[in-house]
């Protein structure tokens, strides 16, 4: 890499030289980044030891390169320079790496736990076949109404994932913290939060949560009552404290509830708003769903996917090898190779995820001409919001009718409430989940929560914010956070919470620009070149400006706020309040008694269970 001879050990304030150096860095970085992503892609789409070995090797090359860049960048006194762009770029480059041995250890731990998660199967339901998360367990959770079966699978998944990675996770946390501290952060949580460039980021999150939590409370109360009707035979399984047993919500983590729409639909005789069966009847496959999504983005004037996208993406689960199925979008940093990896199913849920992933790729395409270090979302929440923003239009009855997935789109109140309930199950249900995951991680990184209380803390947050409780008793032998992809994969999660608020803020503005009148939830921006241009201009910025600038460019506002999501769901909230009148809305902050047993490690609990018969005999 270009090294500048600076005489006398004085740091340089020469902005011209800094710009030259940054150009050189950018040039080299795009190929080093490309090789690193290529190696990860090869591993994630074919989980072999060989590919893992090559990926760790590429990670080491990358880390060496970044360490050298860090050393070179420190030749400049960039903090004192005037040019904001130089300062911003230098700041992202100035990150010190751990010694190679520890980089290797970190990567090995990460790979081991990701592999445990991605290859886990739940066996033993009496049939020969073991169940994979995608699609088997996901389908079971979407379809089964059998309390015991769901409970068994819920526990089975956690036995096969989290329980097998707890100590590796602890070691991984320590290394992450070490790297963060090396760079002046208090811990790795501090490092993650700093990326939001916001004075008191947790306070902002809490402000947003306080704005939206009343909506969640209404939904929770209504859904719980309907579930009690469905599971009347298991009524004793509903805790007195008002929590919902976590296995009944149509999703392995209870993070989105749209799969139980049929149990909570406000007006069952009115038109269905779920297009799963229409997609299947019309013989949609993965490619057709992706093409549908591509068409929407194009209607706004955004680019079609490059040929390489179709050639290289993995959009269905291969049958001949193990892969990481969890959907993701990949930027190869060479300005034309962008891919999606997804095990697409033909369902409405998949339709939303396809748009979500396509949103990421469009962001990649829009900022591809920025320097490598700015090829990111204005903040990660922006990146997560784009595709969801588009699907907000796609799923409106009017749009679904336009593309032939609904026969009609009546605008009577009852059909509208059915539609909004579906949206609430897809989006409002997610809010506390999106908020709590990183509260757990921040507390783990800061040391406030150590390995002896990992699982207890997890359930404290799940009970408190989501109002859900475990269907079977948990202990510290379990590690339930590890049963959720982003924990083993070490992907920050608060971005999804931020996105859940931002996407409505974006939508409100784009709907205005597109000339929409009437309620926000009916707005479909399909075909609006004006909205597309506005969006494009914001996306092109990447991370070159602080996020409030990007937000202002699109919406005229510099602050995130949740009033748009409240507007969107207003008619449903009024209806829910009527339905819930006279019913208890709250749940206890603490988990139900007995849902968590102490027994700090598996050795103690194993010894205890071995001793039980002995104790029993002695007592007799």
From 66, 294, 345, 357, the catalytic residue: 357
List alpha helices for 428-583, DSSP H: 431-446, 454-461, 494-513, 529-540, 547-555, 563-568, 570-580
From 486, 552, 588, 590, the catalytic residue: 486
State yes or no: 583 annotated in a binding site.
no
435 binds ligand X8Z (CB under 6 A): no
CA distance 120 to 484: 12
**Closer residue to ligand X8Z in complex, CB, 388/416:** 388
| Of 566, 258, 578, 231, residue with least CA distance to 421 | 258
* Cβ 258 to Zn ion shortest distance, Å: 17
502 binds ligand X8Z (CB under 6 A): no
Cβ atoms of residues 480 and 459 within 8 Å? yes
Residue 327 binding: pick among ligand X8Z, Zn ion, none (C-beta 5-8 Å cut-off by kind): ligand X8Z
Size of the site for ligand X8Z (CB under 6 A): 5
String of contacts with Zn ion for each residue 343-382, x by CB under 5 A: ----------------------------------------
Q: Annotated catalytic, 312?
A: no
Backbone torsion region of residue 106, taken as left when φ is above 0, otherwise alpha when ψ lies between -120 and 50, otherwise beta? alpha
- Candidate list 332, 496, 506, 596; residue touching ligand X8Z; CB under 6 A: 496
Q: Annotated catalytic, 100?
A: no
String of contacts with ligand X8Z for each residue 270-309, x by CB under 6 A: ----------------------------------------
Neighbours of 404 (CB within 10 A): 10
State yes or no: 50 annotated in a binding site.
no
Q: What share of the chain is helix, strand, coil (3-state, %, to 5)?
A: 65, 5, 35
C-alpha separations of 425 from 17, 168, 210, 349, 463 in Å: 54, 35, 19, 11, 18
CA distance 86 to 95: 15
Name the residue number minimizing CB distance to ligand X8Z: 327
Q: What is the 3-state secondary structure (H, E, C) of 261-295?
A: HHHHCCCCCCCCCCCHHHHHHCCCCHHHHHHHHHH
419 binds ligand X8Z (CB under 6 A): no
CA distance 114 to 371: 30
String of DSSP letters for 520-531: GGG---TT-HHH
Cα Rg for the chain, rounded, in angstroms?
A: 25
Q: What is the 3-state secondary structure (H, E, C) of 82-130?
A: CCHHHHHHHHHHCCCCCCHHHHHHHHHHHHHHHHHHHHCEECCCCCCCC
CA distance 105 to 247: 35
* Cβ 374 to Zn ion shortest distance, Å: 19
State yes or no: 414 annotated in a binding site.
no
* Cβ 327 to ligand X8Z shortest distance, Å: 4
* Cβ 302 to Zn ion shortest distance, Å: 17
Tokens of 151: 């409970």
- Candidate list 144, 328, 409, 475; residue touching ligand X8Z; CB under 6 A: 328
* Cβ 384 to Zn ion shortest distance, Å: 5
- Candidate list 155, 341, 356, 474; residue touching ligand X8Z; CB under 6 A: 356
**Closer residue to Zn ion in complex, CB, 381/592:** 381
CA distance 173 to 591: 26
**Closer residue to Zn ion in complex, CB, 337/384:** 384
C-alpha separations of 469 from 79, 161, 219, 458, 593 in Å: 49, 19, 16, 11, 10
489 binds ligand X8Z (CB under 6 A): no
Coil/strand/helix, residue 76: strand
CA distance 106 to 104: 5
The interface with Zn ion within residues 381-410 (CB under 5 A) comprises 384
* Cβ 253 to ligand X8Z shortest distance, Å: 8
* Cβ 495 to ligand X8Z shortest distance, Å: 8
State yes or no: 356 annotated in a binding site.
yes
* Cβ 146 to ligand X8Z shortest distance, Å: 25
State yes or no: 508 annotated in a binding site.
no
**Closer residue to Zn ion in complex, CB, 175/539:** 539
Residue linked to tokens 């469905």: 230
**Closer residue to ligand X8Z in complex, CB, 251/528:** 251
**Closer residue to Zn ion in complex, CB, 64/195:** 195
Show which residues are catalytic: 357, 486
Please report, in range form, the residues annotated as the binding site for Zn(2+).
356, 360, 384
Q: Which residues bind Zn ion (CB under 5 A)?
A: 384
Please report, in range form, the residues annotated as the binding site.
196, 356, 360, 384, 495
Q: Which residues bind ligand X8Z (CB under 6 A)?
A: 327-328, 353, 356, 496
Please report, in range form, the residues annotated as the binding site for chloride.
196, 495
């Amino acid at each position: 890499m270009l090294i500048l001879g600076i005489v006398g050990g004085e740091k340089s304030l020469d902005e011209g030289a800094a710009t030259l150096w940054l150009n050189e860095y950018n040039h080299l970085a795009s190929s080093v980044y490309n090789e690193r992503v290529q190696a990860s892609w090869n591993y994630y789409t074919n989980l072999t030891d060989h590919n893992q070995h090559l990926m760790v090797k590429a990670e080491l090359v990358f880390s060496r390169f970044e360490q050298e860049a860090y050393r070179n960048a420190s030749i400049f006194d960039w903090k004192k320079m005037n040019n904001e762009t130089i300062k911003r770029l230098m700041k992202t480059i100035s990150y010190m790496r751990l010694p190679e041995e520890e980089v290797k250890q970190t990567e090995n731990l990460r790979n081991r736990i990701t592999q445990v998660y991605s290859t886990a199967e739940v066996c033993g339901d009496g049939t020969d076949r073991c169940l994979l998360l995608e699609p088997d367990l996901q389908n079971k959770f979407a379809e089964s109404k059998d309390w015991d079966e769901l409970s068994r699978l819920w526990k089975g998944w956690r036995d096969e994932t989290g329980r097998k990675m707890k100590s590796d996770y602890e070691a991984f946390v320590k290394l992450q913290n070490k790297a963060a501290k090396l760079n002046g952060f208090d811990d790795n949580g501090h490092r993650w939060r700093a990326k939001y460039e916001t004075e008191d980021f947790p306070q902002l999150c809490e402000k947003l949560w306080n704005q939206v939590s009343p909506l969640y409370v209404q939904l929770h109360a209504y859904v719980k009552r309907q579930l009690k009707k469905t599971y009347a035979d298991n009524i004793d399984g509903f805790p007195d404290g008002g929590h919902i047993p976590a296995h009944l919500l149509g999703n392995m983590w209870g993070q989105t509830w749209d799969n139980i729409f049929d149990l909570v639909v406000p007006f069952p005789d009115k038109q269905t708003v779920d297009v799963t069966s229409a997609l299947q009847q019309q013989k949609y496959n993965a490619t057709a769903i992706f093409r549908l999504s591509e068409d929407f983005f194009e209607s706004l004037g955004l680019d079609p996917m490059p040929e390489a996208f179709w050639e290289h993406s993995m959009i269905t689960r291969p049958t001949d090898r193990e892969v990481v199925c969890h959907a993701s979008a990949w930027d190869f940093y060479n300005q034309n190779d962008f891919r999606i990896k997804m095990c697409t199913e033909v369902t409405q849920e998949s339709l939303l995820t396809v748009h979500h992933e396509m949103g990421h790729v469009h962001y990649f395409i829009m900022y591809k001409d920025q320097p490598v270090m700015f090829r990111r979302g204005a903040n990660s929440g922006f990146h997560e919001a784009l595709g969801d923003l588009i699907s907000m239009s796609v799923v409106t009855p009017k749009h679904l009718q336009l593309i032939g997935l609904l026969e009609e789109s009546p605008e009577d109140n009852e059909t509208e409430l059915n539609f909004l309930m579906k949206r609430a199950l897809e989006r409002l249900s997610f809010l506390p989940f999106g908020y709590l995951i990183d509260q757990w991680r921040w507390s783990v990184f800061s040391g406030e929560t150590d390995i002896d209380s990992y699982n207890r803390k997890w359930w404290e947050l799940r009970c408190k914010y989501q109002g859900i409780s475990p269907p079977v008793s948990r202990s510290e032998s379990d590690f339930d956070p590890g049963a959720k992809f982003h924990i083993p994969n070490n992907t920050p999660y608060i971005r999804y919470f931020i996105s859940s608020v931002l996407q409505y803020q974006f939508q409100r503005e784009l709907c205005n620009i597109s000339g929409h009148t009437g309620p926000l939830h009916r707005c479909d921006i399909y075909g609006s070149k004006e909205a597309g241009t506005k969006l494009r201009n914001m996306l092109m910025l990447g991370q070159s400006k602080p996020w409030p600038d990007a937000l202002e460019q699109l919406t005229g506002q510099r602050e995130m706020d949740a009033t748009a999501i409240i507007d969107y769901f207003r008619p449903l909230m009024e209806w829910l309040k009527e339905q819930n009148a006279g019913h208890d809305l709250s749940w206890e902050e603490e988990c139900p008694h007995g849902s968590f047993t102490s027994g700090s490690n598996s050795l103690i609990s194993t010894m205890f269970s071995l001793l039980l018969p002995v104790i029993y005999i002695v007592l007799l």
